[in-house]
Amino acid sequence: MKKTLLATSIMALTAMTSVSAMSEEKTVYLAAYGGSTETLFKEVIIPKWEEKSGAKVVYVSGNSTDTLAKLRAQEAAQEIDIAFIDDGPMTQAIQFGYCDTVKEDTYASLYDSARLKESKAVGIGVIATGLAYNAQMFAKNGWDAPTSWLDLADPKFKGKIAIPPITNGYGLHALIVAAKLNGGGEANIEPGLKFFEEKLDDNVLVYEPSSGKMSELFQNGEIAMSVWGSGRLKSLADTGFPGEFSYPKEGAVNLLIAACPVVNSDVPELAQDFLKFMVSPEMQKYFATEKGWGPVNKNVELSQDQIGALPVGPERVDTLINIDYTLVNPARGEWTKKWTRRIER
């Protein structure tokens, strides 16, 4: 009898050890942004999840366009298990069939806006595209803080503005807003291009795609204002730079950081668990305080100091402009050709 019990105990212990070993051997391939996001993931977030799950994470760095290109290249045999992509390219990833369905319980405590089409992706954080400016330079020149997108066209800012090109999400948002304010929109971008040509171009020092370079332009006093993200401005202001962020009266633009479990993953349960971990209150607070991403989880509590420029609260979130990427994505190539020929010559 004792031998039987001992044998049973040994078998149970062996099975537990085997399961643990199998879990430890499993690897999740995560494709996400580089820079400070990669640092935060590698130093804080991934170690927490690895300890919880027993699995390992391999971080594949790249911007949204890079990650979408990887998914397309690996279409026949996906190597990526989880993809972090901005909402515009994510719409394409879903359309191309690269994203699996997110488990329903992941959305339990989230705002409705965190659910992407057909529940194929989940929002991880909200960024507002608006007006970033050097408050010290504004005060020195006696300028009022910007309150409207149209302030970008004020002649006093000649050569003192930087806007990303439309190959960058912030620049794309600026063009669409310019079109909307002049009788157009996603279905008619011409008024936006014309506004840039006739009203904005003289004020733009450079169409700068790099966030690092944009920070340098601010710090060197070369620009007074830019079209930028609330999270980017927070990162710059955290260094001590006197930067402020304005939500234009017409509305800032909603940029949703999204993630999806990739189809045909060999670790689908781990991919789903990772996403659920990303939208937990603990991780959402990390993203808010360290990255400047507005929380998508309703249960996250932030102090007024922590909120700062983040898109938090109905007075900001409910006024965000949402872009119709079903119209934008098919037209974006043609827009880029026109932009290159007429604006960024």
Give per-residue pLDDT as tens, 208-258.
988 889 999 999 999 999 999 998 898 899 899 999 999 999 999 999 999
Q: Do residues 165 and 207 touch, judged by C-beta distance below 8 A?
A: yes
Cβ proximity of 342 and 197 under 8 Å: yes
What does residue 187 show for φ and ψ, rounded to 5 degrees?
-85, -10
Q: Determine the Cα–Cα distance for residues 151 and 155; give it in Å rounded to an integer.
A: 9
Share of the chain above pLDDT 90, in %: 79
pLDDT tens digits, 116-173: 999 999 999 999 999 999 999 999 999 999 999 999 999 999 999 999 999 888 999 9
Its sign, for the CA torsion 91, 261, 289, 291, is: negative
Provide the pLDDT for residue 218: 98
**Helix ranges restricted to H, the chain:** 2-25, 35-40, 46-53, 64-73, 87-95, 135-141, 169-180, 190-195, 211-219, 230-237, 268-278, 281-286, 304-307, 314-317, 325-342
Q: Express each pLDDT in 283-306 by its tens digit.
A: 999 999 988 899 999 999 999 888
User: Residues 227, 170: contact at Cβ < 8 Å?
Assistant: yes
Question: Which residue(s) pair with 129 in the sheet?
Answer: 229, 253
Instruction: Please report which helix (H) or strand (E) contains residue 61, including its range.
Output: strand 56-61
pLDDT for res 313: 82
Please tell me the predicted confidence (pLDDT) of residue 152. Answer: 98
Give the pLDDT band (50/70/90) at residue 24. Answer: low
Between 314 and 14, where is the model more confident? 314
Stretch 100-121: mean pLDDT: 95
Which pLDDT band holds residue 339 (cuts at 50, 70, 90)? very high
Question: Rounded CA gap, 25 and 23, in Å?
Answer: 5
Q: Give me the pLDDT at residue 22, please.
A: 41
344 and 207 in contact (C-beta within 8 Å)?
A: yes
**Six-digit token pair at 231?**
């999270």
DSSP 44: I
Round to whole Å and give the CA distance between 15 and 121: 35
Q: CA–CA separation, 174 vs 215, rounded Å?
A: 18
Q: What 8-state DSSP symbol labels residue 109?
A: T
d(CA 210, CA 156): 25
